[in-house]
Chain A
Amino acid sequence: MYYAVNLKKISGDLKFFLFYQHILMNEEENIGFSITSDYDSITTEEVFKPLLKVLMAYSHKLIGNGTLRLTKNRDELAYDFSMEAIQRYLENPDKFDPSRNSDLVKYLKFNILKRLISNFKELKGQQNECIFEDDDSIGMSVSKSFIKENDVHDLIDLENIIQQIQKELIDNPILLSLFNLRYISDYTRAEVCTELEISNGEYNNRIRRLDTVLNRVKKNQQI
C-alpha cells in the first residue's frame, strides 16, 4: 500500500482494501494519516494529494493569523513550507530514520515543518520584515537563513495565560477536563482519550475548540 491509516484491529492488505473507505469514515478506528512504508511513493499523485493537504493544514495553523507582517499570504506560505519539507526529505532521505519512528508524516511535520516555521517566526519576530527569498527555479524555495532551532511560539511571553484559559472554561466542564488532563497533568493524547472515553476524532474536535478559546484569550490580551 502506498499509505496507510494505521489500524489497531484490522490487518492484512485484503481487509485494508475492503475496509479502507469505511475506516476513513470510522473515527474509532482511525488513528491518523501516516506513511509507514514505500516512502518513495510520496511523489505519486495518490499519496502526494493527502500528504500535501495534511502538511498544509498543519503549516497554515502554525503560521497563524497573528501580528506578523507577511509579504506572502498565509496560504502561499503554508504551501511553501510544506513543499520545502517534502523537498528537504527528498534531497536527504537518509536523515529520516524509520527505525526510530517509521511514520514519514510525523517526521515531516515534527522534524522539519515545525522547525522551519518556528525559525521563520523567530526571525519575523526579530526583524518584522520578510525573510523569504525569491523563488528558485523550481519555485519552492523558502529562506535558507533559518538559523535557530526553537519551539513554536516561544515569542509568546505570558505568565497567566493558563489561568486565563481555565477561567474561560469554568462553565465548560468537557473542555476543562481535557485541558487539565492534557496541559496540567501532561497526559498524552492516547491517555486523554482513554481517560475521557472519547475517540481520536472527538479529541481533535475538543482541541480545536480549545484552540478557539486560546485565540480569544490571546486576542483579549492583545498578543
Chain B
Amino acid sequence: MYTQQSQQQGANAVSSKELSYITDCLKNEELLAKMASEAISCCHTPQLKQKMTQIAQDRLQHTDQLLRTLQQHTQLTH
C-alpha cells in the first residue's frame, strides 16, 4: 500500500514499523534455530530428529531472507 508520503521518501524505503517487525522476526528465527538445534541433540527418535534438523535449517534460510529483504531496501534508499 503505497502512500504519497512513502513515495516521496523513496519507493523502496522501509518504514520504521516494518523495520521493527523485521527485527522481531529475526529474533524469533534466531530463537527457533537455537531451540531446534538444542532439540536435535535431545531427540532420539529419528523422525523427530530429522524434523528438528530441517526446522533449524529453515530458520537459517528465513534469517537470510529477512536480512536480504532489509539489505535490498537499504541499498536502494541510498
The answer to whether A binds B is no
Query: A residues engaging B (CB < 8 A)?
Result: none
